[in-house]
């Protein structure tokens, strides 16, 4: 297998260093909610609602107005908080289970445009060459400005094998159009292969319900392929936009024997949470190199930050995305759910991830990464079959969840926004 770019650099680093060496609850109501000023504002809302109902040029349904008002309230807070109607809420739950329809692109909102956080491996978006940081300005010729993020994502979805044209604005280039064909997106969140004969390469594309088991299966397979003679592990988190907090904690824990992994801190000190590692290291102390770039966000940054702070891994690549806020998914009985920013992430050393990102220990610019790394990634040992079996394990939890327990801390970068 041909080595290239960053993977080769990581392998060399491992040799040198190696030989010498959930479910969040809705926050309590504010005590200010009962003030007279708040009631005045609510009365104002009622007055505006009545004026719109009676005076708007077209017929409009009350639920449409209320839904728009709720979403406006949430999106006014930050780019990551928003309202999910029943359909969007169900779509989101499908996404975290690892299979859904669309283009295979993780997106957020920036200045009214849809921003590409990361294309997902082996999807229409990845095959079309979309890159982190691309801005989508038009969908089939229609401007995205004025749309909410869920509305834009909904327009990008459609029947399998149907086409859509995206107008892309990329830094340093004139706007251009890209034609993509929609497909069923199956996220194989973990892939692996051997680099040479004794360095394990593990690619984690997202943190969904399949990731933890997929990682363990990949590590087991790599040890067998190397006849238990591995000398190091490369963990590739490039263009991984994030996902579920519990999976980020589990992946970090897999390489740590002890210590804090991440903490979340919100408005109230008593609500701070700390997640700690338990004994056991699936790599048995072998040197680890973690690859990151500007498309590595949220859950990826939790893992990278934890392993870096504990000096468990060498980080190689470029600065990560910098998405370090916690979104809690709060179901609204019979009315979808709301995604609300409730806290910030902090690494074990107390570093805030939000808007700062994680700096690598060794900087390797993206321009130096050879194009054939994608091909090398695809030739890896397909561990997903074993990982898929873990769906049975994950599904049992879903079956037991009521609306209250269905609240999850979802930190994927688009919660940032959404996945299409």
What DSSP string runs through 296-345? --THHHHHHHHHHHTT-EEEEES------EEEEEEE-TTS-EEEEEEEEE
Q: How many helical (H) and strand (E) elements, i.e. helices and strands, does the chain have?
A: 12, 20
In order, the DSSP letters of 393-413 are: HHHHHHHH--TTTT--BB--T
Please tell me the distance from the alpha carbon of residue 24 to that of residue 259, in angstroms, as a whole number: 22
pLDDT at 135 over 80: yes
Please say whether the beta carbons of 232 and 270 come within 8 A.
Answer: no
User: Is it the case that residue 400 has pLDDT exceeding 80?
Assistant: no
Residue positions counted in the chain: 420
Indicate the Cα dihedral angle 162, 165, 168, 174, nearest 10°.
150
Above 80 in pLDDT, residue 340?
yes
Alpha carbon of 291 to those of 187, 252, 295, 304, 370: distances in Å? 20, 14, 11, 9, 14
Q: Check residue 415 and give its pLDDT.
A: 36
Higher-pLDDT residue of 409 and 245 is 245
47-79: per-residue pLDDT in tens?
Answer: 999 999 999 999 999 989 999 999 999 999 998
Confidence of residue 404 (pLDDT cuts 50, 70, 90): very low
Q: Read off the pLDDT band of 35 (50, 70, 90).
A: confident
pLDDT value at residue 10: 81
Which ranges in the chain are annotated with CATH 2.30.42.10? Answer: 100-185
Per-residue pLDDT at 3 exceeds 90? no
Take residue 400 and report the two structure tokens written for it: 């037991």
Percent pLDDT > 90 in the chain is 61
Instruction: Indicate which residue of 115, 323, 408, 409 is catalytic.
Output: 323
Q: What percent of the chain has pLDDT over 70?
A: 79
Collapsed DSSP state (helix, strand, coil) of residue 247: helix
**Residues forming a β-bridge with 163:** 181
pLDDT score of 7: 81
pLDDT of 30 > 90? The answer is: no
Query: Which CATH code fits 100-185?
Result: 2.30.42.10
pLDDT above 90 (res 236): yes
Q: What is the pLDDT confidence band of residue 393, given thresholds at 50, 70 and 90?
A: very low
Q: Which carries the bigger pLDDT value, residue 218 or residue 383?
A: 218
pLDDT confidence band for 401 (50 / 70 / 90): very low
Residue 360: its pLDDT value, please?
98
Distance CA 56, CA 35 (A): 31
Residue 309 among the catalytic residues: yes
Is 323 noted as a catalytic residue in this protein? Answer: yes
236, β-bridge pairs = 203, 291
Pairing of strands 232-236, 288-292: parallel
The Cα–Cα gap between 192 and 214 comes to 10
pLDDT value, residue 367: 60
For residue 40, pLDDT over 50 is answered with yes
239 touches 204 (CB < 8 A): no
* The overall pTM is greater than 0.75: no
What is the pLDDT, as a whole number, of residue 31? 56
CB atoms within 10 A of CB 59: 6
Report pLDDT for 106.
84
Annotation says 2 is catalytic: no
The answer on pLDDT for 390 being more than 80 is: no
> Beta partners for 164?
180
Q: Is 205 helix (H, G, I), strand (E, B) or coil?
A: coil
Query: Mean per-residue pLDDT for 134-139?
Result: 97
Name the catalytic one among 91, 236, 246, 309: 309
Give CATH 3.90.226.10 domain extents, the chain: 5-25+188-419
> For residues 275 and 261, is the Cβ–Cβ distance under 8 A?
yes
What pLDDT is stored for residue 276 in this prediction? 98
Q: How many CB atoms lie within 10 A of CB 403?
A: 12
CATH architecture of 5-25+188-419: Alpha-Beta Complex (3.90)
In terms of C-beta distances under 8 Å and separation of at least 24 residues, what long-range contacts does 123-130 make, across chains too?
A: 123/183, 123/185, 124/180, 124/181, 124/182, 124/183, 125/180, 128/178, 128/179, 128/180, 129/178, 130/105, 130/166, 130/168, 130/178
Q: What is the CA radius of gyration of the chain?
A: 22
Please give the torsion angle defined by the CA atoms of residues 27, 28, 31 and 36, in that order, rounded to the nearest 10 degrees: 80
Higher pLDDT among residues 255 and 269, named by residue = 255
């Amino acid at each position: 297998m041909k080595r290239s770019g960053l993977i080769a650099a990581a392998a060399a680093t491992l040799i040198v260093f190696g030989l010498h060496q959930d479910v969040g609850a809705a926050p309590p109501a504010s005590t200010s909610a009962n003030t007279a000023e708040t009631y005045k504002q609510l009365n104002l809302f009622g007055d505006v609602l009545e004026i719109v109902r009676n005076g708007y040029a077209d017929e409009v349904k009350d639920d449409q107005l209320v839904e728009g008002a709720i979403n406006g309230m949430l999106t006014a807070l930050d780019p990551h908080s928003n309202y999910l109607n029943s359909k969007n809420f169900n779509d989101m739950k499908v996404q975290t289970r690892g299979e859904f329809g669309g283009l295979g692109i993780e997106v957020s909102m920036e200045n009214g445009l849809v921003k590409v956080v990361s294309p997902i491996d082996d999807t229409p978006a990845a095959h079309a060459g979309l890159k982190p940081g691309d801005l989508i300005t038009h969908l089939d010729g229609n401007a995205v400005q004025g749309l909410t993020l869920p509305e834009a994502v909904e327009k990008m979805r459609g029947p399998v094998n149907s086409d859509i044209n995206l107008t892309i604005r990329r830094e340093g280039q004139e706007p251009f159009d890209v034609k993509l064909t929609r497909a069923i997106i199956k996220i194989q969140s973990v892939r692996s292969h051997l680099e040479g004969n004794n360095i394990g390469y593990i690619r984690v594309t997202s943190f969904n319900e399949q990731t933890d088991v997929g990682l363990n299966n990949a590590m087991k397979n790599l040890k067998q392929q190397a006849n238990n003679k591995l000398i190091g592990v490369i963990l590739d988190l490039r263009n991984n936009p994030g996902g579920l907090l519990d999976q980020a904690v589990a992946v970090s824990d897999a390489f740590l024997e002890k210590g804090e992994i991440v903490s979340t801190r919100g408005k109230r000190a008593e609500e701070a949470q700390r997640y700690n590692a338990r004994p056991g290291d699936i790599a048995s102390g072998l040197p680890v190199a973690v690859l990151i770039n500007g498309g590595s966000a949220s859950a990826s940054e939790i893992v990278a930050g934890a392993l870096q702070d504990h000096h468990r891994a060498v980080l190689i690549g470029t600065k990560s995305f910098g998405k370090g806020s916690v979104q809690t998914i709060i179901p609204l009985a019979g009315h979808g759910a709301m995604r609300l920013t409730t806290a910030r992430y902090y690494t074990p050393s107390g570093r805030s991830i939000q808007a700062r990102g994680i700096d690598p220990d060794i900087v390797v610019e993206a321009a130096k990464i050879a194009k054939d790394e994608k091909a090398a990634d695809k030739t890896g040992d397909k561990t997903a079959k074993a990982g898929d079996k873990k769906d049975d394990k994950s599904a049992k939890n879903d079956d037991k969840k009521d609306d209250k327990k269905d609240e999850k801390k979802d930190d994927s970068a688009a919660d940032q926004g959404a996945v299409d």
